[in-house]
Amino acid sequence: MTDAHEPAVQPLQHLPEDWERGLALVPHPDDIEYGAAAAVARWTGQGKTISYALVSSGEAGIDSMPPEMAGPLREDEQRESARIVGVEHVEFLGYPDGMIEYGLPLRRDLSRVIRRHRPEIVITGNFRETYGGVFLNQADHIAVGRAVLDAIRDAGNRWVFRELLDEGLEPWNGVRALWAAASPEAGHAADITETFDTGVESLRAHRAYLAGLGEDAPDPGEFLESAARATGQGLGCSLATSFEVFTF
């Protein structure tokens, strides 16, 4: 018998896996690792190619370290984190951490990356106002996610950002969907039972950032496992990570 006070488990659908090229576009180093990295490890293990593009270098993310030191360090940590889950290509767009604004320059730069990589699936983080109505989302996450959504359409329109044509970048209309990790509106998920530990290892690679959170910060493995077990219940497996799907 189910306890009447327990919330009902929301059923989730499996994400399709009949694709070969993916591109993750997020604001900061560590954004992918809080949930999505274990799914990336699953997909690279299937032979898929996934690339990362970080809008900023996360240079404002360590209170005890000045940005000119933190930025290069966090870039190195992100490259190592990506290597752990089978991602070889990582790039940084150089926007100021904490001050990223939605607008035409960001849409253009994201469109450029999409046209270069020509992905079938684009991955980003939650860009809703909150994480389930309890924790407020960050401004950078919201700005980048909304810009990614628009940049996917921009990438396929020859007459938007015509300067990209001068760079030899033809339009790309091959993006099938945008998957936003950890969204409170998620209706899909990926089974990460077999790759969960790899995902945790990729988060632990952000050593300086995690140390900067202080001793009271939750253990990365325990934090990720709690969310993954809850999501797994909805997908019918042990551990899973959730995504909101926007189709094109």
pLDDT tens for each residue of the chain, 248 residues long: 344 455 567 899 999 999 999 999 999 999 999 989 999 999 999 999 999 999 999 999 999 999 999 999 999 999 999 999 999 999 999 999 999 999 999 999 999 999 999 999 999 999 999 998 779 999 999 999 999 999 999 999 999 999 999 999 999 999 999 999 999 999 999 999 999 999 999 999 999 999 999 988 999 999 999 999 999 999 999 999 999 999 99
Full DSSP string of 61-124: S-TTS-HHHHHHHHHHHHHHHHHHTT---EEEEEEPTT----SHHHHHHHHHHHHHH--SEEEE
Return d(Cα 114, Cα 108) in angstroms, integer.
10
In a domain, 7, yes or no: no
Return d(Cα 36, Cα 119) in angstroms, integer.
17
What CATH code is carried by the domain that includes residue 228? 3.40.50.10320
In a domain, 65, yes or no: yes
In a domain, 10, yes or no: no
Closest to 125 (Cα-Cα) out of 106, 145, 155: 145
Helix or strand (DSSP H, E) at 243 = strand 240-247
In a domain, 6, yes or no: no
Question: Residue 242, SS3?
Answer: strand
Full DSSP string of 129-193: SEETTTEEPPHHHHHHHHHHHHHHHHHT-TTSSTHHHHTT--------EEEEET-TT--EEEE-T
Domain count, the chain: 1
Within a 10 A sphere around the Cβ of 185, how many other Cβ atoms?
A: 12
Which residues have CB under 8 Å from 61's CB, separation 6+? 28, 29, 30, 70, 74, 97, 209, 212
Q: Which domain holds residue 134?
A: 20-247
| Residue type for position 129 | E
**The residue to which tokens 């694709």 are assigned:** 19
In a domain, 4, yes or no: no
Closest to 140 (Cα-Cα) out of 79, 56, 214: 56
102, 232 Cβ separation under 8 angstroms: no
In a domain, 28, yes or no: yes
Predicted TM-score (pTM) of the model is 0.95
